[in-house]
Amino acid sequence: MQFFTDNILLIFLLPLLTAIIAFTAHFFKFAISQKTVSVISTVTSIIGAIYAAALYYTYNNCNEITEFSVGWLSIGDLTISAGLLLDNISATFLLILMIVNIIIQIYSSQYFNNQKNYNLYFGYLNLLITSITALSLSSNLPQSYVFLELTGVLCYILTNFNYEKSQISESAKKSFIINRIGDMLLLSGIIVFIYFVLTYPISNNSELLSYKELAETAADFYVYLSDINFYIACILLFSGAIVKSAQFPFHIWLTDSINGPIPVSALIQSVATVSAGIILTIRLLPLFELSEPVLKTIIYIGLFTSVICAFFASGQYDIKKMLAYSTSSQLGIVFPAIALLNIKNTLFYMSVNSFAKVSLFLIAGILISFIPKSSSNMLDMPVSKHQYPFLGFCYLLTVFSLSGLFFNGFFIGEAILGQLLSQNKKIAASFYFLYLLLTSFYLFKSYFIIFKKNKKHFAEKNKISSCLIIPIILSIVFIFYPVFDYKTIILDFSKNYEIFKLFDIIPVSVPISVIAVILAYFAASNKISAPLWFKKLSLNGGYISNLYDIFIDYIVEFFRNFTNIIDYFFNFTAYIVKFFSWCVSVSQNGNIQTYISYAIFSSAVLLVLYLLLIAGIGGI
């Protein structure tokens, strides 16, 4: 185990090296074949996973922290360092990341088969993995910012991978720009933070910036700033996480980014955004937990997002869009879990959510590939449960877990709910119930629609490559295999039901899901239906995306006219100069008659003036 801790840099270098190999293979086509690249990539991902597992078992049950850093950028007397922080949080993140990485690598090797940019894709993918690894291991706030933004950039590049299609490139651009908003807000938060560290009387050490010392710094920060300023600074820092984790009102970038390739969407929605937003919030928790309003804001932003996005998801017929909204919605539940100061729950929930998302996306990818025209509408999917019993079964299992009816999903849902209730957050708990209802509803609705028994168009049964099946099995295994020691979770859970009694909770949350399932069954077969305006509102995502467009268009149009002023002013000056030069040019045309006439005219004028002058003097 000592080996893994000592050579921690290897965990970056492996994907980075793979990326370099893949880029080399892309640009110098003679060097390495596609197959070799994918094999190298998969093997390094497996090594990475072994590595991460070793780190996980070293750090999981102890509070040991390993940290080292080197200087990167000097800011006045302060030095921003680049370092590594290894504790149980980052080890857990790494494990989730690396397992998802294996799944995505295997799936991509088949999904992108025989495409011309195959190697390029693997290059970008491994760079993204490097970036997320660095993000989860980063030891201070500025470094987190660096890799947070790098992750965003690489997600954008991968989303824009098939840039020839204008729809894809437009939505990739939009998602990138919305991501930038978050980055800029986070940057301003970081600037406030560094400013504090710089002006702080005893701040001669750069250690103050690191997460390890954050608790102490945060306490001083809290004393130093007034309440409202502290609140603003915290919200600025948190807004970075809001945007990255696609919370309301910035969730629309996630629905834009799903136009990219399926494995990329799976990776973005299961690990990239999750780890980006959540690890930042977890790391900054010592700061946030000082102020009650900040924690409340975090809880309610999360819960509101989870409900509103679940509502938007329930109107979708596009499976990718539905999954994107569901990601936002489920991440919304993570934030209350963090704000309730229960990191174990958060990590556990995240693992459940990540693997479930991966499995749903991968199944959706296979289903979409069956549709002849490139669409991802659920109603167009010519499949049935009997044709693909395996896919249907996997889909169902995942859906069960996500809607809190089954095993891991159930435990974690109950744990969060129990904690909400134990802290007497009644409104929050009712939000949670609403979320549960909607989530179960749309997930089961999608299941019933896709795997309907009697469909009109049965396509011929396609053969599914084993490279596509293995990742799905892997993700299903990890949904149900308790990788993250959930004994503590179950302990928490049992403690909760000691307080609230088993029958107080289970009759509330499980029946809600069951009712939702029944509703979903009828909704899928069009036996019940919501009002049309309601459906439309949900289908269009509350018209938030349109609002963005109108707003941006309006602003740009306004300033477009406004900035012309200077041009007009300078052109006006130029016209005046031109006018005078024209006057001069008229008078000097080189024509002798003109000059003579000028001379006669001006001498006449002079004469008149002279006479007038004499007359004037005479008059006086």
Partner 1 sequence: MFDLLSLKILIFTPVLAAIIIASPLFGTNFIYIRRFAKTCGTIHFLYSLLFIVFYNFGVESFYDEIMIFGSGWLEKLGINAAFGLDGLTVLLAPLTSFIFLISLIVSKTMIRTKHKMYYSLMFILLSTVLGVFCSKDMFLFLIFWEAELIPLYFLISEWGSCNCKHSAMKYLLYIFCGSIFLSVAMIGLFFYGYLSNGELSASIDFLRVSMTDGIFPVFLKKLLFFGFFTGFAVKLPIIPFHIWFTDSQSDSATPISMVLSAIIINTGAYGIIRFNLDLFPELFIKYSPFIMIFAVINIIWASLAAFKQNDIKKTIAYYSISQMGLFLLGLSSLNKIGLDGAIFIMLSHSFISAGLFLITGLIYQVAKTKTLQELSGLGEFMPILMLFAYVINFAAVAVPLTIAFPGQLLVFLGAFSSDCSIEPLAKICSFIAILIMLLAASYIFKLFHKIFCTSQFYSTKKYHDVSGHRLMCIAVICFCIILFGCFPDSLMSIYNNFTESLLEILRV
Q: Single out the segment in contact with partner 1 by CB under 8 A; choices: 35-43, 178-186, 312-320, 467-475.
A: 178-186
- Helix pair 343-370, 389-402: axis angle to 10 deg: 150
Which of residues 6, 9, 13, 27 is near partner 1 by CB under 8 A?
27
Token output for 55: 């780190």
Rule CB under 8 A: is residue 288 a binding residue for partner 1?
no
Site string for partner 1, 66-95 (x = CB under 8 A): -----xxxxxxx------------------
Q: Please say which residue, 178 or 313, places its beta carbon nearer to partner 1.
A: 178
First-to-last alpha carbon distance for the chain, in angstroms, is 116
Q: How many Cβ atoms from other residues are within 10 Å of residue 356's Cβ?
A: 27
Which of residues 17, 184, 434, 473 is near partner 1 by CB under 8 A?
184
Give the span between the Cα atoms of 490 and 319, in whole angstroms: 33
- Note whether 562 and 568 are within 8 A (CB): no
Residue with tokens 């990742």: 471
Token output for 153: 């950039």
Give the span between the Cα atoms of 215 and 72, in whole angstroms: 23
Q: Single out the segment in contact with partner 1 by CB under 8 A; choices: 30-38, 141-149, 365-373, 374-382.
A: 141-149
Q: Please say which residue, 130 or 446, places its beta carbon nearer to partner 1.
A: 130
Give the span between the Cα atoms of 346 and 485, in whole angstroms: 13
Q: Single out the segment in contact with partner 1 by CB under 8 A; choices: 175-183, 247-255, 354-362, 443-451.
A: 175-183
Rule CB under 8 A: is residue 150 a binding residue for partner 1?
yes
- Note whether 352 and 409 are within 8 A (CB): yes
Rule CB under 8 A: is residue 280 a binding residue for partner 1?
no
Determine the distance from the C-alpha atom of residue 422 to the mean position of all C-alpha atoms in its chain, rounded to a whole number: 31
Which of residues 498, 562, 591, 592 is near partner 1 by CB under 8 A?
562
Residue with tokens 């892997």: 474
The residue type of 436 is: L
Q: Please say which residue, 223 or 566, places its beta carbon nearer to partner 1.
A: 566
Q: Please say which residue, 182 or 392, places its beta carbon nearer to partner 1.
A: 182
Beta bridge partners, 210, equal: 140
Please, which of residues 515-544 interact with partner 1 by CB under 8 A? none
Q: Please say which residue, 177 or 396, places its beta carbon nearer to partner 1.
A: 177
Q: How far is the CB of 558 from partner 1 (least distance, A)?
A: 9
Give the span between the Cα atoms of 28 and 19, in whole angstroms: 14
Q: Please say which residue, 124 or 325, places its beta carbon nearer to partner 1.
A: 124
Token output for 382: 């010519």
Short-list 42, 17, 158, 147, CA closest to 99: 42
Q: Please say which residue, 183 or 492, places its beta carbon nearer to partner 1.
A: 183
Rule CB under 8 A: is residue 201 a binding residue for partner 1?
no
Q: How far is the CB of 88 from partner 1 (least distance, A)?
A: 27
Residue with tokens 């494995």: 263
Q: Please say which residue, 46 or 82, places its beta carbon nearer to partner 1.
A: 82
- Note whether 136 and 93 are within 8 A (CB): yes
Q: Single out the segment in contact with partner 1 by CB under 8 A; choices: 182-190, 478-486, 487-495, 592-600.
A: 182-190
Give the span between the Cα atoms of 283 and 142, in whole angstroms: 12
Q: Please say which residue, 533 or 562, places its beta carbon nearer to partner 1.
A: 562
Which of residues 195, 534, 543, 598 is near partner 1 by CB under 8 A?
195
Rg of the Cα atoms in the chain? 32
Rule CB under 8 A: is residue 570 a binding residue for partner 1?
yes
Rule CB under 8 A: is residue 225 a binding residue for partner 1?
no
Total residue count of the chain as it appears in this document: 620
Q: Single out the segment in contact with partner 1 by CB under 8 A; choices: 168-176, 219-227, 469-477, 529-537.
A: 168-176
218-248 burial code (b ≥16 CB/10 A, e <16) = bebbeeebeeeebeebbbbbbbbbbbbbbbb
Q: How far is the CB of 379 from partner 1 (least distance, A)?
A: 29
Rule CB under 8 A: is residue 264 a binding residue for partner 1?
no
Contact residues for partner 1, defined by CB under 8 A: 27, 71-77, 117, 142, 145-147, 149-150, 153, 157, 160, 163-166, 169-170, 173, 176-177, 180-181, 184, 187-188, 191-192, 194-195, 198-199, 556, 559-560, 562-563, 566-567, 569-570
